[in-house]
Amino acid sequence: MKKTSEATALTSLILEVFRLNGQLLSQGNRLTEPLGLTSARWQVLGSIKLAGHPISVAQAARRMGLTRQAVQRVANDLETLGFTRFENNPDHARAKLIVPTAKGRDALELIEKRQIEWSNKLAKGINTSLINNAVELFGELHDRCNKMETTPIEA
Amino acid sequence: MKKTSEATALTSLILEVFRLNGQLLSQGNRLTEPLGLTSARWQVLGSIKLAGHPISVAQAARRMGLTRQAVQRVANDLETLGFTRFENNPDHARAKLIVPTAKGRDALELIEKRQIEWSNKLAKGINTSLINNAVELFGELHDRCNKMETTPIEA
DNA sequence: TATTAGTTGACAATACATTGTCAAATTGAC
DNA sequence: GTCAATTTGACAATGTATTGTCAACTAATA
C-alpha cells in the first residue's frame, strides 16, 4: 500500500506535534516554576476555572483528554501544596470536588497575566485564521483518532 | 494587558496540541506494542533510518527536538531488547553509533506498513494543503519558541 | 428490592521526559 | 603543544502519563 499525499503531510504534522508539545511544556514549566507550579498543575488549575465551578477529578480529566489517574496524581499534588482543597460533593460520595484556594487563585491569575504577554509575543504577526484553521483541523483529527481507538490493529 | 486575537487563537491551539499529543502517543503505543516497541522507541529507530546512516544519541536527540538524556535512555532500551546495537565511531570515542539490527529493521518495516494504513485512514478526505499549512505554522512556532527560550521571565 | 453495569478514587507497575551534574573526549584558539 | 570551551555519555532526582486492577459508590433495570 502506498501513502496518500494527505497521509504524508499528516505524518509530518505528527512529528511537529511531538516537537512542539515538548517545547510548550518546557516553556510552561519555566513560566510557572517561580510560583511552585508546573505545566500539568497549571493545566488542572486552569480547567477548574474554565469550567466555571468546582469539578471532580474525572470530569477534569475528560475535559483535558487525559486519564483520570494522571489528573488524580496532579490534583493530589495541588492539594498538598495548598493550591486547591477537596470539598465534599453532595451528588457523589466518592467524587470530591477540586476547589482552588486563595493561594491557587492568586497563582493562576499571575500566571495568566504572564501567559498573555508570552502568547502575544509568540503569536505576533501570525494570521489569526491560519491558526484557527489549525485548531479546527486538530479538532477533526481528535475526533477521528477517537474513532480509530475502537478499531484494533488486526494481526 | 489584553490578549490579541492571534494569541487567543494560539492558546486554543496549544491546548489542542496537548490533547492530540497524548492521543498520538497512545495510538503509537497500540500500533507498536505487539512487536515490543513503543512510540518513543519507534521514533528513535525511525530517526536512524531517516538519517540514512548510523548516528549518535546526541545527533538523534537534536533531530527529534528532545534532550540527549531522554534519547539515551530509549536507545539503551533498544539495545537491551536487541533492536539496535552500538558501534564504535571512528570519529568520536565516546559518541557510539546506533545501528539497527536485523530484528530492528524488520520491526520498523512492519510498523511502517501499518502506519501507512493508519495514516491513510486518518487523513482520508482532509485537504492536503490544510495540513501543510499547519506543518508550516508549527515550524514557525518552533523557531519562535527557541528564540523565547533565551529571554527569561523577569520577576 | 435486587442485580447488574458503569463510574470513581486508590494503588501499582511501567514508560517517558526534564533539569542538573560530573568526567571523559573533542575542538578550536593561541 | 597547551589550555579553555564545548560536546557527549552516565547518573540522579523529579515530574508526567499510561495501562491495569480493585473496591466503593452510583445509576439503571427488572
How does pLDDT run along chain A (155 residues), one tens digit per residue?
899 999 999 999 999 999 999 999 999 999 999 999 999 999 999 999 999 999 999 999 999 999 999 999 999 999 999 999 999 988 887 889 999 999 999 999 999 999 999 999 999 999 999 999 999 999 999 889 888 755 444 33
Share of chain B above pLDDT 70, in %: 95
What angle (nearest 5°) sits at the alpha carbon of residue B25, between those of residues B139 and A32?
65
Q: Is residue B102 part of a domain?
A: yes
Domain carrying residue A78: 35-148
Dihedral of the alpha carbons of B119, B123, B124, B128, in degrees to the nearest 10: -130
Q: Is residue B42 part of a domain?
A: yes
Indicate if CB(B76) is under 7 A from strand D.
yes
- Closest of B30, B52, B62, B29 to residue B100, by C-alpha: B52
Q: Is B80 near chain A, with CB under 8 Å? A: no
Indicate if CB(A45) is under 7 A from strand D.
no
Angle between helix A57-64 and helix A68-80 axes, rounded to 10 deg: 120
Strand D nucleotides with an atom less than 7 Å from a protein beta carbon: 7-12, 15-21, 24-27
Q: Is residue B15 part of a domain?
A: no
End-to-end CA distance of chain B: 16
pLDDT for A103 equals: 96
Residue A13 is placed in which grid cell?
A: 504534522
pLDDT for B147 equals: 80
Q: Is residue B22 part of a domain?
A: no
pLDDT at B151 over 60: no
pLDDT for A149 equals: 59
Q: Is residue B18 part of a domain?
A: no
Cβ contact A22–B117 (<8 Å): no
> Mean pLDDT over residues B108-121, rounded?
94
**pLDDT band with cut points at 50, 70 and 90 for residue B146:** confident
Q: At A66, which CATH number? A: 1.10.10.10
Q: How many domains does chain A have?
A: 1
Q: Give the residue whose CA sits closest to C15 at C1'.
A: B38
> Mean pLDDT over residues B80-98, rounded?
92
Q: What is the pLDDT of residues B41-51, one digit of tens each?
A: 999 999 999 99
The rounded distance, in Å, linking the Cα atoms of A95 and A58 is: 8
The rounded distance, in Å, linking the Cα atoms of B18 and A42 is: 13
> Mean pLDDT over residues B92-100, rounded?
91
- Closest of B123, B50, B118, B62 to residue B95, by C-alpha: B62
Q: Is A50 near chain B, with CB under 8 Å? A: no
pLDDT for B153 equals: 39
The rounded distance, in Å, linking the Cα atoms of B64 and A78 is: 32
Q: Is residue B9 part of a domain?
A: no
Q: Mean pLDDT, chain B, as a whole number?
A: 92
pLDDT for B66 equals: 95
> Mean pLDDT over residues B85-102, rounded?
92
> Mean pLDDT over residues B106-124, rounded?
94
Q: Is residue A95 part of a domain?
A: yes
Instruction: Looking at the complex, report in whole angstroms how far the Cα of residue B90 sits from the nearest Cα belonging to chain A.
Output: 30
Q: Is residue A3 part of a domain?
A: no
pLDDT at B115 over 90: yes
Coil, strand or helix: which one is B77?
A: helix
Cβ contact A120–B7 (<8 Å): yes
pLDDT for B149 equals: 59
